[in-house]
Structure 1
Amino acid sequence: MSSILTNNGATVALQTLRAINTELSTVQTEIATGRRVARPDDNSAIWAISKTMEADVRGFKGVSESLSLGQSTMSVARQGAETITELMTEIKGKVVAAQEENVDRSKIQADIDALVDQVDSIVSSASFNGLNMLQNTDATAGSGSTNVLASIDRNGNDVTNSDIAIRKRDLSTSASSVAATGGTYNADAVTGTLDATQEVDLDLSGLTVEAGAAFSLSIFGTDGNDSSFVEADYQSTAAATETQAEMAAGDMTYVARDGDTAGDVAAALVRKFNTYAAENGLDGNVLSMSAAGDTITITSGVTDGTDTIDVKVNELGADAGNTIGGGLEDLRSINVNSDSGADAALGAIEGLIDVGIDAAASFGSDARRLDTQQDFVTGLSDALKSGIGALVDTDMEEASARLQALQVQQQLAMQSLSIANSSPQSLLGLFR
């Protein structure tokens, strides 16, 4: 049945054209924006996921900037430590030259003092953005390291950050001091006796190591007839147990810095002993020490059942008000104007060079960690961007093909609508 009031063919053609136009508009929007999911109404689930991932990408950009700042800080610190190590190598050359008696030691000492001043100058200037990694004499907890933002970690809806802790390495020459009274003093905290057993380990792992706490080594040898060694030479204290006053005035003391471990204390005390031994002409065969981890190993080649040497580690709490010194404080005590001073300087400089080398190596290791993390964050950020693209970006090849097909369909739909609209005109022939 034909009707002039209802044109079913035109209605169908119009619906088809509207559907094609809607899809055509969608494809044109995808091509114009480059995204097939640009708004929540395009695909709410995919849009929500992509926005969360975009927020993470923005976060990783901040992480990358933080790592770049850390890398620059490490570069300055490493360069400073390397330069200081080179200066101490020069100082060693001066100290070796001073071993010869037929030299002008006063001029050599003046050169050494100038080099030490240069060390302090480098330490003072080796800062980046206000952070100096070569100074660590503050007793405040946490001041001995800095945290570099390394990553943001997502677990469902929870987001946390993770840091890389970079430890400071003090290479200044400021002097430390130990309080002669007050505080919590623990004599004979760790003890060992060399007798017929000529090798003993001192385990320092039980010590309370905190910023401002002081530690000392004391030795007390017993050889009544000086048959194996000269008894007085191997007695750093008046009695077998060191007093707090003797600790404050002693040469083998170390005040811990924030971030120090028992291993750092062990290494520092061994360095102090080596300097003391060189200054006092102690025989390495009678008494020698080495540090490995938290342990100090003491050895002797001459002690026996009656000729013994007691070695003790004493500690004084931070509540005594001790002053933290620089990592190279012994540089200031180098004085080659005398034979004993030159000998002591030679014993001290080797340990101080090791301090500088260890600092530079540690900064190099930390810098490598930051470089590795930076590479990881960059790669992860790129992977997230690729993932977002896979979710929301328009496939331009597919969109182009769809656009051409829809344009053809649009033209055909318009022709169909035109034909459908002209069909009622054929009814006029019935009334002629």
Structure 2
Amino acid sequence: MSSILTNTSAMVALQTLKGINSGLAKTQSEIATGKTVASAKDNAAVWAISKVMESDVKGFSGISDSLSLGESTVAVARKASEAITDLLTKMKGKIVSAQEENVDRAKLQTDINALVDQIGTVVGAAQFNGLNLIDGSSAADVKVLSSLDRKSDGTVSASHISVQRQNLAVTGSSTPQAFGTGTLTTPGDYLSGVGTTTTASTAPTLTSVAAAGVSNITIGQVAAGISYEITLGDLLINTADGGEATGQRTFQYVAGTDDGTAEVARNLISQINSFFGAATSQGYTATVGATDNVVQITNGSAAAIEAGLRASSGGTAGPSGAAGLSALSTIDVTTTSNAASALASIENLIKNSVDAAAAFGSVEDRITTQNDFITNLSDAMKTGIGVLVDADMEEASARLQALQTQQQLGIQALSIANQQPQNILSLFR
């Protein structure tokens, strides 16, 4: 049945054309924006997920900047620590030279003082954006923002990498060790093993230690301020011209409040061995004896040496390793006894700087690894967002061509349907 009031064919063609135009508009929007989900109207769930992930990506960009800043700060501290280690090693060479006979210790001390000044310059310059990790100005760890951790319930927490400061300052309170002048009634209770132990200002009595012989020296008691002295004589000491000369060296240690018998023995052994290794070639050694409070001196040479002991009260303990490099101010090689003590001190200072450089190197590597991870994680999240919301341009292009063809056919169909009422006029002619 044909009707001039209701054109069903035109209505069907019009609805079809509207659907085609709607699909065409959506496809053109995808091509223009590059997204299948450009707003919450397109797909509310996917749009919400993508926006949360985009905010995380923005956050990771800031974290990467924080890590880069932290990495640079730690790198400056590491390089400064390494430079200080090199300077201390150079200083050790000067101190080793001072152990020899026939050297100008005053000139060596001048060189050492210049190296101390240079170390101070390095410490002061080791800052990045005003933050110095080695000048001892603070003991608080530096926190470097390393990640934002999102839980399943949507809560976000920040993670940090802690950078521990290292004190390599050459300034600060550092009292040099001072051997005591107080008389002990029974000095042998504190130090014994070679002849009779003298006390206070009494010169030690030297006792022979035969060639290939061993002498055991026992640290019997310890109290703060008690001064222990081991004197070794008739040693064959290297000379500056490559020869050897017979000489005597005194090794002293003043006990601190935290020292026990083992600590006193260990410090004396360290001093003696440092000297033997730097200035002798005859096989002299110092080791821990049967117990940890015994200093065992071995004469590995073909000639006898001598040893003597002295103990007194009222001494001042030297600087500990807790005050950065402030002990540098106490290093003095102008006298024979001080030169021997300086050799043991420089070993501890080198250890401090090496430990600092190693600590900074470890945390710098961790920061670098985290920065690389954050960069890769950010890239992965961007890829995930793209999978959720980005348009498939090849598919959109093909769909656009099809919809344009359908649009043209829909227009033709609607045109034909609109012409049908005109055909009814022919029935009345």
Q: CA deviation at 1:298?
A: 3.6
Q: Is the CA contact 2:224–2:257 (under 8 Å) kept in the aligned structure 1?
A: no
Counterpart code for 2:351: D
Q: In 2 relative to 1, CA 11–39 (structure 1 residues): closer, same or farther, beyond 3 Å? A: same
Q: Is the CA contact 1:275–1:347 (under 8 Å) kept in the aligned structure 2?
A: no
Aligned to 1:422: 419
Q: Is the CA contact 1:275–1:344 (under 8 Å) kept in the aligned structure 2?
A: no
Q: In 2 relative to 1, CA 374–228 (structure 1 residues): closer, same or farther, beyond 3 Å? A: farther
Matched, 1:342 2:339: yes
Q: How far apart, in 1, do the equivalents of 2:274 and 2:401 lie?
A: 96
- TM-score after normalising by structure 2: 0.72
Q: In 2 relative to 1, CA 173–278 (structure 1 residues): closer, same or farther, beyond 3 Å? A: farther
**355, 364, 368: which is aligned to 2:365?**
368
Q: How far apart, in 2, do the equivalents of 1:275 and 1:331 lie?
A: 21
Q: CA deviation at 1:144?
A: 3.0
Q: CA deviation at 1:302?
A: 6.0
Q: Is the CA contact 1:223–1:230 (under 8 Å) kept in the aligned structure 2?
A: no
Matched, 1:273 2:267: yes
SS in structure 2 opposite 1:164?
A: strand
Q: Is the CA contact 1:134–1:171 (under 8 Å) kept in the aligned structure 2?
A: yes
Q: CA deviation at 1:337?
A: 0.1
Q: CA deviation at 1:391?
A: 0.2
Aligned to 1:11: 11
Unpaired runs of at least 5, structure 2: 176-186, 205-216, 227-252, 277-283, 298-319
Q: How far apart, in 2, do the equivalents of 1:94 and 1:240 lie?
A: 33
Aligned to 2:384: 387
Aligned to 1:149: 145
Q: CA deviation at 1:354?
A: 1.6
**294, 303, 314: which is aligned to 1:300?**
294
Q: How far apart, in 1, do the equivalents of 2:92 and 2:192 lie?
A: 38
Q: CA deviation at 1:351?
A: 1.8
**Cα deviation per residue 1:351-378 (whole Å; 9 max; x = unaligned)?**
2112111111111111110111011111
Q: How far apart, in 2, do the equivalents of 1:408 and 1:56 lie?
A: 43
Q: How far apart, in 2, do the equivalents of 1:53 and 1:301 lie?
A: 67
Q: Is the CA contact 1:136–1:144 (under 8 Å) kept in the aligned structure 2?
A: no
Q: In 2 relative to 1, CA 224–37 (structure 1 residues): closer, same or farther, beyond 3 Å? A: closer
Matched, 1:355 2:352: yes
Counterpart code for 1:150: S
Q: How far apart, in 2, do the equivalents of 1:118 and 1:92 lie?
A: 15
**Cα deviation per residue 1:12-49 (whole Å; 9 max; x = unaligned)?**
10011111101100110111011110100000000000
Matched, 1:222 2:189: yes
SS in structure 1 opposite 2:46?
A: helix
Q: CA deviation at 1:272?
A: 9.5
SS in structure 2 opposite 1:98?
A: helix
What does 1:22-101 correspond to in 2, within 5 Å?
A: 22-101=22-101
Q: CA deviation at 1:176?
A: 3.3
- Bigger radius of gyration among the two: 2
Counterpart code for 1:152: L
Q: How far apart, in 1, do the equivalents of 2:128 and 2:188 lie?
A: 50
Give percent identity, aligned residues only.
Answer: 48
Q: How far apart, in 2, do the equivalents of 1:383 and 1:164 lie?
A: 23
Q: CA deviation at 1:278?
A: 5.0
SS in structure 1 opposite 2:42?
A: coil
Q: CA deviation at 1:424?
A: 0.9
Counterpart code for 2:140: G
Q: Is the CA contact 2:225–2:256 (under 8 Å) kept in the aligned structure 1?
A: no
Q: Is the CA contact 1:36–1:42 (under 8 Å) kept in the aligned structure 2?
A: yes
Q: How far apart, in 1, do the equivalents of 2:362 and 2:264 lie?
A: 24
Counterpart code for 1:413: G
Aligned to 1:331: 328
Aligned to 1:104: 104
**Cα deviation per residue 1:88-129 (whole Å; 9 max; x = unaligned)?**
111011111111232221111111011001111111110111
Aligned to 1:192: none
Q: Is the CA contact 1:153–1:160 (under 8 Å) kept in the aligned structure 2?
A: yes
- TM-score after normalising by structure 1: 0.71
Q: CA RMSD in A?
A: 3.7
Q: How far apart, in 1, do the equivalents of 2:122 and 2:27 lie?
A: 64
Q: Is the CA contact 1:13–1:416 (under 8 Å) kept in the aligned structure 2?
A: yes
**Cα deviation per residue 1:247-297 (whole Å; 9 max; x = unaligned)?**
xxx956599xxxxxxxxx99xx89993698459999974758xxxxxxxx9
What does 1:133-282 correspond to in 2, within 5 Å?
A: 133-138=133-138, 143-156=139-152, 157-176=154-173, 222=189, 226=193, 230=197, 240-242=222-224, 273=267, 277=271
Q: CA deviation at 1:229?
A: 8.4
Q: In 2 relative to 1, CA 241–274 (structure 1 residues): closer, same or farther, beyond 3 Å? A: closer
SS in structure 2 opposite 1:153?
A: strand
**Cα deviation per residue 1:102-160 (whole Å; 9 max; x = unaligned)?**
2221111111011001111111110111111112354xxxx431011111100021000
Q: How far apart, in 2, do the equivalents of 1:346 and 1:224 lie?
A: 23
SS in structure 2 opposite 1:176?
A: coil
Q: How far apart, in 1, do the equivalents of 2:90 and 2:160 lie?
A: 38
Q: In 2 relative to 1, CA 7–254 (structure 1 residues): closer, same or farther, beyond 3 Å? A: farther
Counterpart code for 1:125: A
